[in-house]
Structure 1
C-alpha cells in the first residue's frame, strides 16, 4: 500500500508542477519528501487512516487545481474518486479507492 500511496502523490505532483520544458518530477525529488514510501509506511503500520487521507488529500487538491477544478469533466471525476477515498474508515477500505485514483491519474497524465 505504501508504494501505491507514494505513486498517487507523485502523479498528483506531476500534474500540478511538471511542465513539458522541465525535468520530470521523480520519487527522490525534494517536493516528494513528505510523501515518500517510508513516510506512508510508518502511517500504514500505525493504521493512521486520517493522516494518510490528509496527506493524499493535499496532493489531490493540487492536482484538482491543475486540471481546472471541479467544474471540468476531469475535475468532477477526480473529485468523485477523492471523495470515495476520503470516505474510507479503515485501512482495508483504502485499497480500492486508492487503486482507482492511481489508475485515473495515470490516464490523465
Structure 2
C-alpha cells in the first residue's frame, strides 16, 4: 500500500507545483520528504488510517487548487474520489478508493 500512497502524493504534487519547462518533481525531490514510501510505510504498519488520510488530503487539496477547485469537471471528480478515500475507516477500506485516486491523478497528469 505504501507505493500507491506515495504515487498519489507524487502526482498530486506534480499537478500543484510542476511547471512546463522546469525540472520535473521526482520521488527523491525534497518536496516529497513527508510523503515518501517509508513515511507511509510507518503509518501503514501502525494502522494509522487518519494519519494516512491527513497526508493524502493535504496533497490532493493542493492538486484540487491547481485544477481550479470543485467548480471544474476535473476538480469535481478529484474531490469525489478524495471524499471516498476520506470516508474509509479501516486499512482494508482504503485500498479501493486509493487505487481509483491514484489512477485518476496519473490520467490527468
Which ranges in structure 1 are unaligned for 5 or more consecutive residues?
none
Which ranges in structure 2 are unaligned for 5 or more consecutive residues?
none
- SS of the residue corresponding to residue 70 of structure 1 reads helix
- SS of the residue corresponding to residue 44 of structure 1 reads helix
| Distance (whole Å) between structure 2 residues aligned to residue 40 and residue 5 of structure 1 | 7
> Moved runs in structure 1, 4+ residues, more than 4 A?
none
The two structures have a TM-score, normalised by structure 2, of 0.99
Match in the other structure for 1:83 = 83
User: 1:1-109 residue pairs with structure 2 within 5 A?
Assistant: 1-109=1-109
The two structures have a TM-score, normalised by structure 1, of 0.99
- SS of the residue corresponding to residue 106 of structure 2 reads helix
